[in-house]
Amino acid sequence: MTPVTSPADRGGRAHPAPAPTFAVLGGAQVQQALDGSEKKIVELVEATYRLHGAGDSVNPPSYFLRFPDRPADRIIALPASIGGPARVDGLKWISSFPGNITAGLPRASAVLILNDHDTGYPFACLESSIISATRTAASAALAADWLTRTRPRPSRVGFFGTGLIARYIHTFLAGTGWTFDTIGLHDLSADSAAGFRGYLEQAGTAGEVTVHDSAEELIRSSDLVVFATVAGEPHVSDPAWFGHHPVVLHVSLRDLAPEVLLASANFVDDVEHCLKANTSPHLAEQLTGSRDFLDGTLYDVMTGRTDPPSDRTVIFSPFGLGVLDLAVGKYVYDEVARTGHLRLIDDFFHELRRYG
């Protein structure tokens, strides 16, 4: 985007600057830019985690808009800024309305606004439910890789919750070279489990697919457990279910009782972000009065500051960072711009002269 401020010539006179542009990218364009790029996006997410860990980002707390008459619904604002090659600021505005599912709509909807690093002008609005699911899945696949390097690679995966996020996570695991002998599914909705199984069959998955009637059965039969539910409070409380010490991708953040976390090794994406809003790690902190149960962040693992144990259950609880949305969103914008298919809104910015 062209900055609004005009450089002065040698005589001190300001040159008129071209008007800033504003583009709108719909879901089809977003999906096309990301399709088949799982390895590249995981590498991008890893690079973004490293930038964030090194302090080259701004990622303030997420802001929750809640409704007294609709306690299950929420809309969240995730402002962020990232340096590195992207150099972009922005905001993700994402809603979660679980009741949409019964009406045949996805639970979550979102937009992402990208702002120019130098002028602050917004230069793009992107459909962002796909971006959000993509960065979540890429983060999960990245964590699965790093957290299993000290143990045999899991061959049995179990998905607790079989919605869109679970599908994206499986796609990213498969797209980054993971194969499984068995794939377990468990969901309170038989239709959701059947739909996920249909997706796996259509994708040509080689592993044996089993729908488990009980949560315990799914967990005990999996070396890699993926929680991708809409749970608002813990519903899995028995540490004995994890006696075989699996790696757990606790993506939905509120499934596990504090007792399960306290019996495990725990890693998060960002400590301050994760230990709030009554997430499972937050509840564990409230129960114990300390953060000693945390073993580190994924960045700590990637930089060798700590190694995940091979003889304990390892749990990764990612809050989800806005800098990841920015990185993936800027990647999408650049890909669409490269192909020449940006849809610009003419004269979106109108009052550009200070005195008319």
Give the residue-averaged pLDDT of 41-57.
Answer: 97
At 294, the pLDDT band (50, 70, 90 cuts) reads very high
Average pLDDT, the chain: 93
Whether residue 1 contacts residue 22, with contact meaning beta carbons closer than 8 Å, is answered with no
pLDDT over 60 at 6, yes or no: no
- Candidate from 149-153, 203-207, 218-222 with smallest mean pLDDT: 203-207
Lowest-pLDDT choice from 68-82, 273-287, 340-354: 340-354
| pLDDT band at residue 206 using 50, 70 and 90 as cut-offs | confident
Query: pLDDT per residue over 318-327, tens digit each?
Result: 999 999 999 9
Q: Regarding the domain with residue range 23-131+322-339, which homologous superfamily does it belong to in the CATH classification?
A: ornithine cyclodeaminase, domain 1 (3.30.1780.10)
Rounded to whole angstroms, the Cα distance separating 275 from 268 reads 9
| Average pLDDT rounded to a whole number, residues 301-318 | 97
N- to C-terminal Cα distance for the chain? Answer: 23
Domain ranges of the chain: 23-131+322-339, 136-317
Give per-residue pLDDT as tens, 11-47. Answer: 444 555 677 899 999 999 999 999 999 999 999 999 9
How many Cβ atoms sit within 10 Å of the Cβ of residue 178? 18
Is 90 exceeded by the pLDDT of residue 224?
Answer: yes
Cα–Cα distance for residue pair 299/56, rounded to 1 Å: 13
DSSP 152: P
Percent of the chain with pLDDT over 90: 86
Q: CA angle, corner 179, sides to 151 and 34, nearest 5?
A: 110
Mean pLDDT, residues 111-133? 96
pLDDT at residue 3, as a whole number:
40
Homologous superfamily assigned to 136-317: NAD(P)-binding Rossmann-like Domain (3.40.50.720)
What Å distances lie between residue 221 and 39, 194, 252, 259, 272, CA to CA? Answer: 28, 19, 20, 20, 33
**pLDDT at position 354:** 79
